[in-house]
Amino acid sequence: MRIHVYSNMYNEAQLAPFWLRHYAPLADRIFVWDDHSTDGTAELLSREPKVTLLPMDPGQHGDNDPYWVKDLFPQYEQHSRGEADWVIVADADEFILHPDLLGVLRQQLALGIQMLKCEGYIMVADRFPADRGQQIYDEIQLGLPDRMMSKWTIHSADISVRFRKGRHGPSGHRHFKHNPEAGIRLLHYRYFGDDYYAARTNRNVERNDMVFHHGLKYDPQAPQTLPDGTIGSAPEWFRDHRHEAVNVVAADSFQRGKG
């Protein structure tokens, strides 16, 4: 069974070591579009033998969703079709997890499944973990269900997938043999306290502004879609719901189901 992983990164030197530590043992090859990072992300990625850095149009950026879904992601057909059984698409803060991940992927492959939906969780912590060579989910295990993060993250390399904005759903997935309940989780590591969340979100807003020139800045009070599907302020939501977080990494939590 051969697995290829794809990602688009911009200034992820802090998270990328954890991401590589998770995906490099799983993947046969890793493809990353580095979005003109200035913090050493590309150099860090290039030191991993399995990584191939793919070029991007210097006038475009990966936070421009039409460019991402139309021009970048479909390149997997060129690099992985006939070379891999599964393609995994995961941002720098996205980690797929299951106690027997390879076993599940082999089983689904044998069943002829072409797309797998991963159950989303937003992980929460007070601060960014120190990098001691551990997996990030060994250090931070508390999470909350996140509707927005339940995604069709894994699919066959032999089908033509075109994602919608934000990669929250592919167009026409019902035309493929799909499984929305394979039991694989998608852990989203972007909340390490309000300051980290604000800095990361503002970086993404500024990246978007490189394309659209709206002069936008992150506003913590601005209404947005929250992990439970409601609309409101993200920092307030995390403060109000943090106490509800449970261990979603432990193997027995997969047997119990959600949380």
pLDDT at 218 over 90: no
**Model pLDDT, residue 201:** 83
Q: Give yes or no: residues 47 and 123 share one domain.
A: yes
| Lowest mean per-residue pLDDT among 45-49, 192-196, 220-224, 233-237 | 220-224
Mean pLDDT (the chain) is 89
Q: Give yes or no: residues 136 and 167 share one domain.
A: yes
Q: Give yes or no: residues 176 and 203 share one domain.
A: no
**Model pLDDT, residue 145:** 96
Q: Give yes or no: residues 132 and 143 share one domain.
A: yes
Q: How confident is the model at residue 164 (pLDDT cuts 50, 70, 90)?
A: confident
**Model pLDDT, residue 157:** 96
Q: Which residues of 28-59 are buried (b: 16+ CB within 10 A; e: fewer)?
A: ebbbbbbbbbeeebbebbeebebbebeebeee
Q: 64 or 102: which carries more pLDDT confidence?
A: 102
pLDDT at 66 over 60: yes
Length of the chain: 259
Q: Give yes or no: residues 99 and 132 share one domain.
A: yes
**Model pLDDT, residue 205:** 72
pLDDT at 245 over 70: yes
CA distance 19 to 219: 28
Q: Between the CA of residue 31 and those of 140, 145, 181, 197, 210, what are the distances in Å? A: 26, 28, 27, 26, 23
Question: Does residue 253 fall inside a structural domain?
Answer: no
Q: Which domain holds residue 224?
A: 194-239
pLDDT at 144 over 70: yes
Question: Does residue 247 fall inside a structural domain?
Answer: no
Total number of domains constituting the chain: 2
- What are residue 124's DSSP bridge partners? 191
pLDDT tens string 190-207: 999 989 998 888 777 776
Q: Give yes or no: residues 121 and 145 share one domain.
A: yes
| Lowest mean per-residue pLDDT among 139-153, 223-237, 244-258 | 244-258
**Model pLDDT, residue 212:** 46
Cite the beta strand spans of 85-150 per DSSP E. 86-89, 94-97, 115-125, 142-145
Q: Give yes or no: residues 149 and 231 share one domain.
A: no
Expressed in angstroms, the distance from the first to the final Cα of the chain is: 30
Give mean pLDDT, residues 134-141: 97
